């Protein structure tokens, strides 16, 4: 695991990742066009682990997908976006109830940013004492912000009961959150809230819905390998067979 983290740091460095305001605690990398990946870090089982979020710069403001895992980077991320594009974040969607996705929802709501989760995520957040969004998504929904459109999609339980993905059909960008693992991962990670029996079927639903993805963004780790979805399916199948 420690070797993997070192490799990830090297990937960030050689690919031109840079840090602003938060030093090495916040890294921002251009994915393509106006799409950017932001990565923050937190400790898991004694190891520093990166968590990926994404933001999109539109004519009508910036849309954020998930919040930083590191609570000290909530404001530095906003400052970085404002400094780079002279635009404000107007919308934030969290993809499931875990802290590495929802931690900043209350903070951003207080900043006047419209925060969203699904109704299922909100219920789990309420039960587990996690941060909650101001607005709820009751079903798979197409959002149009500025010149971009995207769809939130619940493919079924996997990493968590409520995990959704975000699909940009025109740009062929799949933001998978923690449902999708990096192609470099050797296992499915934290399974405390996972549905082992349904995980593989859920990934197949994503494959059927989000065809010919050019970019696939996992919740943690390297996103440059498009085989991450296929790799996740293989691990989910193996896990189901062992169950």
In tens, the pLDDT along 189-240 reads 999 999 999 999 999 999 999 999 999 999 999 999 999 999 999 999 998 7
Distance of CA 241 to the CA centre of its chain: 27
Q: What is the pLDDT of residues 37-51, one digit of tens each?
A: 999 999 888 889 999
The total domain count for the chain is 1
Q: How many CA atoms lie within 13 A of 77 on its CB side?
A: 34
Instruction: State which residues form the domain around 29.
Output: 2-242
Work out whether strand 61-65 and strand 89-93 pair parallel, antiparallel, or are unpaired: parallel
pTM comes to 0.90
Burial of 101 (0-12, 13-18, 19+ CB in 10 A): buried
What mean pLDDT value characterizes the chain?
A: 91
Q: Which tokens in the block code for residue 212?
A: 């010919």
The CATH number of the domain holding residue 90 is 3.60.15.10
Lowest mean pLDDT among 59-73, 106-120, 229-243: 229-243
Helix (H) or strand (E) holding 151: strand 148-153
**What pLDDT, on the 0 to 100 scale, is given for residue 44?**
83
Backbone dihedral angles phi then psi of residue 24, each to the nearest 5 degrees: -75, -5
Given a contact cutoff of 8 angstroms between Cβ atoms, the answer to whether 53 and 66 are in contact is yes
**What pLDDT, on the 0 to 100 scale, is given for residue 242?**
78
**What pLDDT, on the 0 to 100 scale, is given for residue 212?**
97
Helix, strand, coil % in the chain, rounded to nearest 5: 30, 30, 40
Q: Is the pLDDT of residue 5 over 50?
A: no
């Amino acid at each position: 695991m420690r070797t993997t983290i070192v490799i990830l740091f090297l990937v960030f460095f050689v690919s031109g990742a840079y840090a602003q305001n938060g030093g090495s605690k916040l890294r921002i990398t251009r994915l393509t066009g106006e799409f950017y990946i932001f990565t923050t870090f937190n400790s898991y089982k004694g190891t520093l682990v990166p968590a990926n979020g994404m933001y999109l710069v539109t004519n009508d403001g910036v849309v954020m997908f998930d919040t930083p895992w590191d609570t000290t980077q909530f404001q530095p991320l906003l400052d970085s976006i404002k400094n780079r594009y002279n635009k404000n974040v107007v919308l934030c969607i969290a993809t499931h109830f875990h802290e590495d996705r929802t931690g900043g929802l209350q903070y951003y709501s207080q900043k006047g940013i419209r925060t969203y989760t699904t109704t299922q995520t909100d219920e789990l957040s309420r039960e587990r004492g996690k941060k909650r969004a101001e607005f709820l998504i009751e079903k798979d929904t197409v959002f149009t912000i500025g010149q971009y459109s995207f769809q939130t999609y619940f493919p079924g339980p996997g990493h968590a009961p409520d995990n959704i993905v975000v699909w940009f059909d025109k740009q062929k960008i799949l933001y998978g959150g923690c449902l999708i693992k990096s192609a470099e991962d050797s296992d499915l990670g934290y399974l405390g809230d996972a549905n082992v029996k349904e995980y593989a079927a859920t990934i197949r639903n994503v494959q059927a819905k989000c065809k010919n993805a050019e970019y696939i963004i996992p919740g943690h780790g390297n996103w440059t390998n498009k085989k991450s979805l296929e790799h996740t399916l293989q691990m989910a199948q193996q896990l189901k067979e062992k169950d």
